[in-house]
Amino acid sequence: MAYLNVGKENSADIDIYYEDRGTGKPVLLIHCWPLNSSSWERQTSALLASGHRVITYDRRGFGRSSHPAIGYDYNTLATDTYKLIQALNLHGVTLVGNSMGGGEVARYLGRYAEPGRVTSAVFMASITPALRHSADNPEGVDPSVFESIKQSIEADRFAFLDEMFKSFYNQKLLFGTHISEAAVHASFTAACSSSYLAVLNCVDAWLEDFREDIARIKVPTLVIHGDSDQMVPFEVSGKRTAEMIPTSQLHIIKGGPHGIFWTHATEVNQALLRFIAQ
């Protein structure tokens, strides 16, 4: 177990929990909301078996990291990523962001990219490039949708999370074939262990506009997205992110929900390993 101090809130340290395993070309995995780094277990095992060094960490407010009341904006979250990369002195790393984690990838590459540090990037079911509907972003989602989510979390976050995972994994179609009741329960338990304030305040961060960050991406990029994603639809996110990075590769998971890291782990891992090998 290892922790990195990334700041303070009053008298308390803000520490990020991370794991650093294996040898070879490094891969840094950034998890989705509302889970933690344990959600990467299927990707971690495949990467380690292929001879990679794998680094995972719990975003502040989630898992074993500190649960502060502050810092759930993308500038701060990307700075946490930056501090971890600097502390471990990583070079030649592939930065992989799942869902909300894609925002950290975009903001890091838009603001902190140093030559040789991050040499490739992966956006998996990512919230990029911009979810907020506006005059110059007509493909986006009306902000009232996110306010409704926050109200549900405030009213009873456990009931909200229980219902949310039905869409997260497309349980109506995939339950029993691609995901078990036990796996869904494990996700629910992990989400419940997260900080209430993190679960709530991260919703505001989803409205961040990453288009300027993405325009600065110069490294080889892979976009992986399920075409049946009910949480972050492919047309709104994955398709547009790939179009904004002309040199990117796009891998569409047929029938894939938002939680493709679990339901379609074999296909995801194959696409990921193939891309890194290039």
Region of residue 170 (left: phi > 0; alpha: psi -120 to 50; beta: else): left
Which pair of structure tokens corresponds to residue 220? 């080889």
- Between CA 25 and CA 146 the distance in angstroms is 38
Backbone angles phi, psi at 268, to 5 degrees: -60, -45
Tokens 């140093």 sit at which residue?
114
From 229, 248, 251, 264, the catalytic residue? 229
From 99, 126, 187, 194, the catalytic residue? 99
**Is 99 a residue of the active site?**
yes
From 31, 251, 258, 264, the catalytic residue? 258
- Between CA 203 and CA 235 the distance in angstroms is 20
**Is 229 a residue of the active site?**
yes
Encode 207-238: b = buried (16+ Cβ within 10 Å), e = exposed: bbbbbebbeebebbbbbbbbebbebbbbebbb
Which residues are catalytic, by number?
Answer: 99, 229, 258
